[in-house]
A and B are shown apart, each in its own frame.
Chain A
Amino acid sequence: MSAGTEYYIITLAVYFLINSILLWGLNLQYGLTGIVNFGYYAFVAAGAYVGSMLAMGAPQPGYLSQHYLFGATLPYPLPVVAAGAAGGVFGALVGLVLLRRLRTDYLAILTLVVGQIAWLIAGNNPTLVNGQSGLSQIPQPLADKLTVDPVTYNWIFLGICLIAALIVFVIIMRLTRSPYGRALRAVRENEYAAGALGKRPATLRMSAMIIGGVMAGLGGALFAEYLMSWSPGGWSFAENFVLYTALVLGGTGNNFGAMLGALVVPVGVYQVVSLLPPIGGNATANAALQWIILGVILLGVMWFRPQGLLPEPKAKFPSTEPETTDTPRVAIVAHGDVQHG
């Protein structure tokens, strides 16, 4: 296998793992708890920026260098952990402001707007995170400790992503298949009933925002470290669309569906379209085609199979029916009472 092919496959695998992490977080917020967060990618960006800044070191003064708010050179894996925390904090802030009792579509618009505000401020303020140019030359984890050639390093990075994805996977599965997960779903289905049963919808929703935010931040930091750069051009609103298409296609509410979505959409659709020859001699047509296909997929899934390829597993309850049905249910006792057996 040539180095180029090897690199390509590793890239696909890394994209799959990182997008799985992102989609598990989104699934927690939207799939399990029913929070429509159209600003999710801003959480991802928050983690990406923080993780990068904590690995890049303090900003150097001078006209030509990158300008950002703070920096440090923390040893790995601290930047990534901090990135997760940043995502969680961002989630908490957004949740504090927005998670009142808002209708779904209002919440969708609000999260979209908040995401756009973050995007505009990050892009237009040159001192915050270096504006439109974004951060670049982001050091990769453990790159300075291990002196290996780039190809071997990619395998190491893949290993790091694998470990991260495994950790997140274990956490998310434990959360989903627990009383907490069931409480989240109860809030999604009928928050008043859940409240009447003693659950606290506001707290549960907030926790979903925070935990989902942590995963978003984690994924974002890994992404930024892989790409070695991160700028507003890479996290526009349309990226949310990719994630939602992936989740809806794979199966909303199902963590394996999230993985399937991560495989099919960011990896599958992008790669298939980039392999096509330029159509009509117009290079932008191919990029546009990617998005058109994504839109058509989303419409198709919403129409033909809204629950997605792997639907959310239905809860199974033990049957409360008696095993034998030989004796009739109603027994009439001697003195005329009717008893149900």
Chain B
Amino acid sequence: MSIYIASFGFGLITASILVLSSVGLTLQYGVTNVFNFAFGGTMTFGAFAAYIVNHTLHQNIWVSTLAAMIGTGLLSIALNQFFFQPFIRRGLQLFGLMVVAFALSIILQNVLLALAGPDVFSYDVPSAQSVSFGDLLFTSTQLIIIVVAALAALCIYLLLRFTKLGRAMRATADDIQLARVSGIVTSRVINLAWLLSGGLAGLAGVVLAMNSASFDTLLGENFLLLTIAAVIVGGIGKPYGAMIAAVIIGIATEEAGVIIGAQYQLVVALVAIVIALLIRPQGLIITRSRR
């Protein structure tokens, strides 16, 4: 029994990181209608940016995280402005944009590989103490990750619900022509959405790297399929759905890993994608319709 509880703990951590990455990816899809495969590479970029600030400039890890988030936010804006928007303006449709996104992800990942090499890296962090809740065992770093993810989810919710930018983002995601007609400068809103989701990607990348003993240039790619699973199960373009789906998938894959073997964890998430897309492509999570 206790192994299930331990897996629940692992699942919570995976879920926390997933919340960050899936909300980011789904925001990008919501406003631009492109499945940004380069998101994994963006996460890896964030992890490495934090590494440079942390290791070479000797800043503490949280300052490095902030720097990384700014870096990935800017990278995402650049990806959107210089690659996706021109192709969209050309009239390229869904599949074509996906091909472009995939090409970008290959380029990004391999540029990182060329620069960093095949080595593994880890952050300079103070060694973590263990904290236990009954059968659940966490390190203090992991607890911080969970808290950070919860806070980020809360901030996203507040942003989307109560701020003008949030409403503009929701409007753009719903119907871009109508949003323009209502006076929203959609190009600016889209860029801000990419900045925000890029920041989330960077944060996700850094905490993912923090959670692993060491990381390499494949960090983001390996996590991308799980992220896609959370995005699809939650409903593509729906941030709240992504949050809920992230928790479900994070915990479910870890628990399933206990039963069928850890190497098949990802298969569980992938099968969830297949089922979701076949049965209910708009997402398995039913969120209250927003007024």
Contacts and interface: CB of A to CB of B under 8 A. Distances in A.
B193 to A, nearest CB: 19
Q: Is the interface of B mostly helix, strand, loop or mixed?
A: helix
Interface in A282-316: 282, 284-285, 287-289, 291-292, 294-296, 298-299, 302-303, 306
Max chain B CB contacts within 10 Å: which of A106, A244, A279?
A: A106
Given A113-B274, A120-B267, A302 B99 contact: yes
Contacts of A116: 225, 266, 270
Contacts of A285: 113-114, 117
Interface stretch (B43-51, B89-97, B150-158, B168-176): B89-97
Contact of A292 (B111, B118, B225, B281): B111
Interface in A236-280: 238, 241, 244-245, 248, 279-280
Contact of B103 (A102, A121, A282, A299): A299
Interface in B249-291: 261, 263-264, 266-267, 270-271, 273-274, 277-278, 281
B273 A109 contact: yes
A298 B277 contact: no
B267 A282 contact: no
Given A104-B95, A124-B263, A241 B102 contact: yes
Interface size class of B (residues with CB under 8 A): 35 or more
Where chain A touches its partner, the secondary structure class is: helix
Contacts of B95: 36, 104-105, 108
A279 B117 CA distance: 12
Contact of B113 (A97, A104, A288, A298): A288
B114 A289 contact: yes
B233 to A, nearest CB: 12
Contact of B270 (A106, A113, A299, A302): A113
B114 A298 contact: no
Contacts of A106: 277, 281
A296 B98 contact: no
A120 B103 contact: no
A340 interface: no
Interface in B109-141: 109-111, 113-114, 117-118
Contacts of A114: 274
Given A109-B232, A110-B278, 16 more contacts: A98-B278, A104-B94, A109-B277, A116-B225, A116-B266, A117-B267, A120-B267, A238-B106, A244-B99, A248-B99, A282-B114, A284-B117, A292-B111, A295-B107, A299-B100, A302-B96
Interface of B: 35, 83, 86-87, 90, 92-96, 98-100, 102-104, 106-107, 109-111, 113-114, 117-118, 225, 228, 232, 261, 263-264, 266-267, 270-271, 273-274, 277-278, 281
